[in-house]
């Protein structure tokens, strides 16, 4: 935990120099293609981040409002924390669920707490998984909503928890590379055939 901020500080401090060193390894005749590919990846990843922030804000509001509707005293802090923590798939949702269950059981000491949390978090999970993320994140990065769901499942199955974290950004970069490959194929002699 102590090492992460130190490493981040030095990475951010040296970022321009690191990028310049990487670019120097690219042959000059490929530099234009490399620069346009990297700028397109940068734009797609920026759209991913903006879409993810929208999802986090919407879920913060949803969880806070849903828990408040049931009368939970700590609805706003738990709802906002859960919405913001959704950035880390499953872990953020799980921590928010545990906090809401504990707060509900301590406040109500009845079955009402379990029902309240089940309804709010169940609806929130359905909303996030089947509408918000595919619509606001997937469409921004150019992925079909079904592709978003499959990317999360595939990366999660292959790489586990880390795969779920990097599924959408990695899919966005792969999508840019596939678009470039398709354009090159359509401009190639293989596609066009021999010239008359």
Q: What domain count does the chain have? A: 1
* Residue 178 domain flag: yes
Two structure tokens written together for 149: 């769901």
* Residue 56 domain flag: yes
Contact 51, 136 (CB under 8 A): yes
Dmax over Cα atoms in the chain, in whole Å?
83
pLDDT above 90 (res 76): yes
* Residue 21 domain flag: no
Domain housing 93 = 42-192
CA dihedral over 38, 43, 48, 52, signed as positive or negative:
positive
The predicted-structure confidence for 9-31, as pLDDT tens digits, reads as follows 888 899 889 888 888 888 989 88
Band (pLDDT 50/70/90 cuts) for residue 196 is low
Rounded distance, CA 172 to CA 13, Å?
Answer: 27
CA dihedral over 60, 66, 68, 73, signed as positive or negative:
negative
The predicted-structure confidence for 107-160, as pLDDT tens digits, reads as follows 888 888 888 899 999 999 899 888 888 888 877 888 887 888 888 889 989 998
* Residue 97 domain flag: yes
Rounded distance, CA 161 to CA 168, Å?
Answer: 13
| Highest mean predicted confidence (pLDDT) among 52-66, 77-91, 155-169 | 52-66
Contact 72, 104 (CB under 8 A): yes
Rounded distance, CA 143 to CA 44, Å?
Answer: 11
pTM listed for this prediction? 0.76
For the chain, how many residues are written? 196
CA dihedral over 167, 172, 173, 176, signed as positive or negative:
positive
* Residue 32 domain flag: no
Two structure tokens written together for 93: 């949702």
Band (pLDDT 50/70/90 cuts) for residue 75 is very high
Burial (CB count <10 Å: 0-12, 13-18, 19+), residue 190: exposed
* Residue 29 domain flag: no
* Residue 2 domain flag: no
* Residue 20 domain flag: no
pLDDT above 90 (res 5): no
């Amino acid at each position: 935990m102590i090492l992460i901020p130190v490493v981040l500080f030095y990475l951010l401090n040296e970022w321009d120099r690191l990028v310049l060193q990487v670019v120097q390894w690219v042959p000059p005749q490929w530099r234009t293609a490399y620069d346009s590919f990297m700028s397109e990846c940068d734009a797609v990843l920026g759209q991913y981040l903006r879409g993810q922030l929208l999802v986090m804000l919407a879920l913060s509001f949803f969880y806070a409002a849903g828990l408040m509707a049931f009368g939970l005293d700590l609805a706003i802090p738990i709802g906002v924390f859960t919405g913001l923590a959704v950035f880390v798939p499953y872990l953020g949702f799980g921590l928010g669920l545990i906090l809401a269950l504990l707060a509900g059981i301590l406040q109500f000491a009845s079955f009402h707490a379990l029902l309240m949390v089940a309804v709010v978090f169940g609806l929130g999970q359905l909303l996030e998984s089947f509408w918000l993320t595919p619509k606001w994140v997937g469409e921004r990065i150019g992925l079909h909503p079904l592709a978003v769901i499959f990317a999360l499942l595939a990366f999660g199955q292959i790489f586990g928890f880390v795969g779920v974290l990097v599924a959408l950004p990695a899919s966005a970069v792969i999508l840019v590379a596939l678009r470039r490959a398709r354009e090159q194929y359509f401009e190639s002699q293989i596609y066009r055939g021999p010239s008359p």
